[in-house]
């Protein structure tokens, strides 16, 4: 080794060692303060808007979600003087409010008049609002087709109705109550229609903010005037007689 190198070599080694020690000291001067109150000291290896990775003084490596970190400080800075890190806000639940919704109801069951009993089916298509405020309440109106088979008679009605459907609790799975009122138009000249009402009670499952399905028991009430044959002094006359048609059964409802 030359004389010059032998003279400066010890000083160079000291300088390099001093530089490494200083760099190491500065690297260890970072502290993470967590929102739980815990404090972790070490070297920040990586950080972005989602995660912070630190190596502790003991050489262990930890990873924390950015939202769990309150702030990062150095030993030279008092904790109060360091502003908190930007925290990525948690996304709030998106609540969809629709201006219009369609309710399709399919039903089937028994049909009863004053004297006889038979079967019935119905289809109702309603349009209205499915969201009133923060609740999944349906208010609307529409039209349906109801067919009743009682004895040898067949009765078809076209009910024009206003409808109300409300969950008893605001939950994904909830009991639901329904009420409809309107006028049933007779689709035959042999009988006439009248007041129509319906009451439903069942269970609804909210598939998503836009769609729900419900299974219900129902009772439809339809007023009508039916032609009946009356014999007076061996003469037969056809007269219209008022009767009440009641149809209890099961209903499947789809909101979309």
Alpha-carbon distance of 60 to 194, in angstroms, equals 82
- Asked which of 33, 49, 81 is the last residue of a domain, the reply is 81
What is residue 251's predicted lDDT score, i.e. its pLDDT? 96
Are residues 148 and 49 located together in one domain of the fold?
Answer: no
Are residues 113 and 233 located together in one domain of the fold?
Answer: yes
- Asked which of 81, 114, 136 is the last residue of a domain, the reply is 81
Are residues 67 and 181 located together in one domain of the fold?
Answer: no
Please report whether residue 93 resides in a domain.
Answer: no
Predicted TM-score (pTM) of this structure:
0.57
Which of 160, 148, 62, 75 shows the shortest CA–CA distance to 111? 148
Alpha-carbon distance of 200 to 217, in angstroms, equals 6
Are residues 46 and 108 located together in one domain of the fold?
Answer: no
Are residues 74 and 123 located together in one domain of the fold?
Answer: no
Please report whether residue 5 resides in a domain.
Answer: no
**Residues 120, 148: contact at Cβ < 8 Å?**
yes
Please report whether residue 4 resides in a domain.
Answer: no
Please report whether residue 118 resides in a domain.
Answer: yes
State the residue range of the domain holding 69: 11-81
Please report whether residue 94 resides in a domain.
Answer: no
Please report whether residue 39 resides in a domain.
Answer: yes
What is residue 97's predicted lDDT score, i.e. its pLDDT? 46
For residue 23, give the 3-state DSSP assignment: helix
Quick count: other Cβ atoms within 10 Å of Cβ 31? Answer: 19
The C-alpha R_g of the chain, in whole angstroms, comes to 39
Are residues 187 and 62 located together in one domain of the fold?
Answer: no
Are residues 57 and 177 located together in one domain of the fold?
Answer: no
Please report whether residue 74 resides in a domain.
Answer: yes
Are residues 135 and 220 located together in one domain of the fold?
Answer: yes
Are residues 71 and 110 located together in one domain of the fold?
Answer: no
In the chain (256 residues long), the average pLDDT of successive 10-residue segments reads: 47 51 51 86 86 87 88 60 44 49 94 89 92 80 95 90 91 92 93 94 88 94 80 67 91 93
What is residue 80's predicted lDDT score, i.e. its pLDDT? 41
Quick count: other Cβ atoms within 10 Å of Cβ 219? Answer: 14
Per DSSP bridges, beta strands 138-150 and 153-167 are antiparallel
Are residues 121 and 235 located together in one domain of the fold?
Answer: yes
Please report whether residue 32 resides in a domain.
Answer: yes
Check residue 34 and report its DSSP letter. E
Are residues 76 and 108 located together in one domain of the fold?
Answer: no
Alpha-carbon distance of 120 to 148, in angstroms, equals 4
Are residues 120 and 243 located together in one domain of the fold?
Answer: yes
> What's the half-sphere exposure (Cβ side, CA atoms, 13 Å) at 202?
23
- Asked which of 53, 81, 109 is the last residue of a domain, the reply is 81
Residue 111 sits in a domain of what CATH number? Answer: 2.40.160.20
Domain count, the chain: 2
Residue 50 sits in a domain of what CATH number? Answer: 2.30.30.100
């Amino acid at each position: 080794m030359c004389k010059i190198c032998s003279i400066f070599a010890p000083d160079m080694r000291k300088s390099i060692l001093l530089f490494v020690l200083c760099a190491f000291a500065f690297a260890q001067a970072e502290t993470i303060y967590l929102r739980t109150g815990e404090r972790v000291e070490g070297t920040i290896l990586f950080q972005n808007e989602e995660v912070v990775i630190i190596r502790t003084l003991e050489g262990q490596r930890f990873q924390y979600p950015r939202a769990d970190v309150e702030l990062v400080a150095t030993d030279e800075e008092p904790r109060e003087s360091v502003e908190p890190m930007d925290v990525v806000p948690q996304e709030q639940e998106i609540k969809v409010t629709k201006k219009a919704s369609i309710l399709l109801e399919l039903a089937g069951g028994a049909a009863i008049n004053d004297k006889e009993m038979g079967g019935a089916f119905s289809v109702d298509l309603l349009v209205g609002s499915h969201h009133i405020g923060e609740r999944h309440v349906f208010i609307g109106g529409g039209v349906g087709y109801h067919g009743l088979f009682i004895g040898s008679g067949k009765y078809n009605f076209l009910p024009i109705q206003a409808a109300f459907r409300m969950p008893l609790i605001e939950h994904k799975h909830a009991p639901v109550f329904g009420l409809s009122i309107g006028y049933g138009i007779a689709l035959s000249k042999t009988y006439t229609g009248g007041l129509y009402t319906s009451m439903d009670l069942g269970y609804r499952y909210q598939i998503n903010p836009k769609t729900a399905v419900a299974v219900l028991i129902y009772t439809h009430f339809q007023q009508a005037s039916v032609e009946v044959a009356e014999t007076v002094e061996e003469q037969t006359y056809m007269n219209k007689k008022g009767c009440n048609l009641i149809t209890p059964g099961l209903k499947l409802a789809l909101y979309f």
